[in-house]
Amino acid sequence: MKYLQSHLIVFLLISCNSLMAQKTYPTIGKIIAEDPAFEKLISKNARIEVLASGFDWSEGPVWIKNGNYLLFSDVPKNVIYKWEEKEGLSVFLKPSGYTGLGYYSDEPGSNGLTVDDQGRLIACEHGDRRISAMPLTKGGKITLADKFEGKRFNSPNDVVQHSNGSYYFTDPPYGLEKKHDDPSREITNFGVYRLSPDGKVSMEIKDLTRPNGLAFSPDGKTLYVAQSDPERAIYMTYPVTADGHIGVGKLLYDATPMLKSGRLKGLPDGLKIDRDGNLWASGPGGILVLNPQGKLLGRLEMSELTSNCAWGNDGSVLYLTVDSYVCRVQTNTKGAGW
């Protein structure tokens, strides 16, 4: 009898520990296929899990491979948060994008984040109006770029690095106190810029009204740019020339009719690319999944405004920043470069 009791206790302890290890997260949203090809990318029964909540506006997610954790910005709170499976949520960096005194604007913090080929965290900083680099383990920030032709940027929004070593970033007015009409603006255009390896800044695209998220095709020959203008909510493609400059663009997908229908809320914002060149792009209703030819394959329809996404874990898990939430969903594909 004692033998049975002792083994029962051990069994119960193992079962309890197993249950405690398997965290159960609440879910949100739904998976909607617009084309049969979508079911190859993500299961119709996939669950969009809510990992953390309570943020003012979550943005800029990036997975840190050398550490297995997620970083993301809360732009209004001027904080970069860290999330990891075992430890949960913690503050990684504060302040994240504004180091000045007093009130700056309603979006002073960092926005888009990426990790460069040196393993540094690259951040778009609204309040300090710059692109910065910071080691992930030890050491302070340095400024990579804060001016174009002697004039301060508006509020750098998203940034990616090309295999040629250049950084490309967008500069809409969202971090300024009075946005488009802010008196501190020094540059007329809301440009898409290139910071070349030799430190030179060039405005590569100057005719977009609200450039926002951007990403490269798997082969690096195409730059995708999202425009978060409610009057022209679009995704554009641009060829990348051999010398790293950006050629003439063309329209990939126009989400304006979807937005104008009034049923789906949200604008084109952050986007990522999978290994087959499909775009996973925030937009009206949540995440739109487009093939490289601009055909809508499916959607991750969310109940809240969705700002951005990032590949993580082994490259098959998509992390989402959704207004006050951070979420994830398992896919059947992997991010470009994984």
- Annotated binding-site residues for substrate read 157
Q: Which helix (H) or strand (E) holds 24?
A: none
Which residue positions form the known binding site for a divalent metal cation? 59, 212, 269
The DSSP string of 161-222 is E-TTS-EEEE--STTSTTGGG-TT---SS--EEEE-TTS-EEEEE---SSEEEEEE-TTS-E
Quote the DSSP letter at residue 37: G
CA distance 240 to 111: 24
Enzyme catalytic residues: 269
CA 95 to chain centroid: 19
Calculate the dihedral angle through the C-alpha atoms of 85, 88, 94, 96, rounding to the nearest 10 degrees: 40
Rounded Cα–Cα distance for residues 105 and 163 (Å): 34
